[in-house]
Amino acid sequence: MLALVALCLSLASSALGASWIAPGAVWQDTDGNKIDAHGGGVVKRGDTFYWVGQAASNQSPQMYSSTDLLNWKNLGSQASSVTGMWRPKIAKPNGSFWLYGQQDRYVLSLKSAQFLGGYSQSAKVHLPPNDYSYSDTGMFYDESSGKKTWYLLTSADHNVVQINRLNADGAVGDQVSNLIAGAYEAPGIVKADNVYFLIVSGKTGWRSNPNKVFSSSSINGPWTGGSDIAPAAENTYGSQNTFELTIKGSQATTYIYMGDAWDSTGGASSNYVWLPMNINTGAKTIQLQYHAMWKVDVNTGVVSYPATKKRYEAEDADLSGRSVVKGCDHCLSKRSVHQGYSSEVTFRNVTGTGSKQWLSFHYRVSNPEAGEAHILVNDEPAINISSLNSRAGYHNSIPVQLTLKPGDVNTITFGSTGKEDFEVSVDGIELFEQDDEEL
């Protein structure tokens, strides 16, 4: 039994903003709308991070800003007349500001005299030196020898991943190196201890695959390697690379993998998977450090994870239909509720804050394709949990943000629909500490 009284229930009455990075979950901006910046990248100016990505509906470049990588303010479209621009990335090779992306398999470059807004078309070219058309755009800037050099990364057709310098006039300059090692795309570069790491994905359309890393002691190549950045069966935790961000803090340097968790069409229900990376500069490998929830302190560079405030065990909940309690080795209480077709597990007296808060549903399904799990919060209509987190069904801890009523008054019902043999094993629900709560 959960010792409810032993818990310090100082859950804040209002949990403003996002407190954790939850890979695969729907992320909301500061207006409460789903963040719409796919295939993007992040740059830092002063104390502020700017994230530019493509809007799912028309691939117009959209910008968001944040000072903590958690709470993102929508700054709107940066070039509203420009559509069909895939994977936009910011660069500043001179006094002007630039956005580069793919349009009709050309490199489209947009220029603006100021950082925010006002971008308009400057050029639309194929890739030098071979006039290749291409698909995916990446961006990297190198700060070695005291000056910043910007590099455009592209996955050219003909299975060439190219790295081209950006000239001072914003034009796509010389190719400095390339990777001709197979069908790769979605390139990004991160540099650690003077080793350059080039991360790419395989070419499997919107379906995720094991992304790989190649390395070199120079941006000029040659690139060698090709090991997986996550266990192969995880398919990069259901994501595809788009950008690498380095946070050099006062105590630690944290390297962040930024990927897209695409839906089946690259559409509006696509989410984001950001994870810290473990870079081994000796072995020349990268491993994503998977966590269902995490954050990085942008000043110290230190990564942390939420503390569980409260846990509700499925075997203590109200069971209906064919739900039965069984032993469960990986479950915290060593028991879980197995439910089949048309059965429900109802958790009562769940504590809410009255505003958005993180909870995690712990469950496993027999086969994510054979059915779906849903939740009902109080008297609201059922929600397919996959629409709140693209990891649902693929991982046994599924964080989602919900708004519950304040106090121990909420009822959450967990159910499933699917084929006769679709089985769900429900472990429990966890509530996490919120960002602005007094501990």
Tokens representing 218 are 């120079």
Sheet of strand 106-112, all strands in order from the earlier edge strand to the far edge: 86-91, 97-103, 106-112, 120-125
SS3 at position 390: coil
Q: Does 355 bind ligand GLA (CB under 6 A)?
A: no
202 vs 340 by CB, closer to ligand GLA: 202
Least distance between ligand GLA and beta carbon 87 (Å): 6
86 vs 223 by CB, closer to ligand GLA: 86
The site string for ligand GLA over 259-298 (x = CB under 6 A, - otherwise) reads: -------x--------------------------------
Least distance between ligand GLA and beta carbon 155 (Å): 7
Q: Does 206 bind ligand GLA (CB under 6 A)?
A: yes
Cβ atoms within 10 Å, residue 181 = 16
Q: Does 29 bind ligand GLA (CB under 6 A)?
A: no
Tell me which of 30, 65, 80, 135 binds ligand GLA, using CB under 6 A. Answer: 135
Q: Does 179 bind ligand GLA (CB under 6 A)?
A: no
Distances (CA, A) of 221 to 161, 173, 195, 197, 287: 12, 17, 11, 10, 22
Going by C-alpha positions, the residue among 112, 119, 27 that lies closest to residue 82 is: 119
Q: Does 230 bind ligand GLA (CB under 6 A)?
A: no
Least distance between ligand GLA and beta carbon 233 (Å): 20
126 vs 284 by CB, closer to ligand GLA: 126
Q: Does 185 bind ligand GLA (CB under 6 A)?
A: yes
Tell me which of 166, 186, 377, 431 binds ligand GLA, using CB under 6 A. Answer: 186
The number of CA neighbours under 13 Å toward the Cβ of 159 is 7
Q: Does 313 bind ligand GLA (CB under 6 A)?
A: no
Cβ atoms within 10 Å, residue 18 = 25
Tokens representing 157 are 């057709």
Least distance between ligand GLA and beta carbon 413 (Å): 37
Whether 314 contacts 336, CB under 8 Å: yes
121 vs 135 by CB, closer to ligand GLA: 135
Least distance between ligand GLA and beta carbon 358 (Å): 29
206 vs 305 by CB, closer to ligand GLA: 206
161 vs 404 by CB, closer to ligand GLA: 161
The number of CA neighbours under 13 Å toward the Cβ of 288 is 31
DSSP string, 121-178: EEEEE-BTTTTB-EEEEEEEEE-GGGS-EEEEEEEETTTEEEEEEEPTTS-EEEEEEE
Least distance between ligand GLA and beta carbon 148 (Å): 27
Q: Does 183 bind ligand GLA (CB under 6 A)?
A: no
Q: Does 344 bind ligand GLA (CB under 6 A)?
A: no
Least distance between ligand GLA and beta carbon 353 (Å): 37
185 vs 228 by CB, closer to ligand GLA: 185
Q: Does 205 bind ligand GLA (CB under 6 A)?
A: yes
Residues binding ligand GLA: number (CB under 6 A): 11
Whether 54 contacts 85, CB under 8 Å: yes
Decide the pairing of beta strands 184-192 and 86-91: unpaired
What is the separation of C-alpha 304 from the centre of its chain, rounded to a whole number of angstroms?
17
Q: Does 55 bind ligand GLA (CB under 6 A)?
A: no
Tokens representing 310 are 């409260």
Task: Give the amino acid at 238.
Answer: G
The residue with its CB nearest to ligand GLA is 205
Distance (Å, whole) CA 161 – CA 335: 49
SS3 at position 231: coil
Q: Does 239 bind ligand GLA (CB under 6 A)?
A: no
Least distance between ligand GLA and beta carbon 240 (Å): 6
Binding site for ligand GLA (CB under 6 A): 39, 86-87, 135-136, 185-186, 205-206, 240, 266
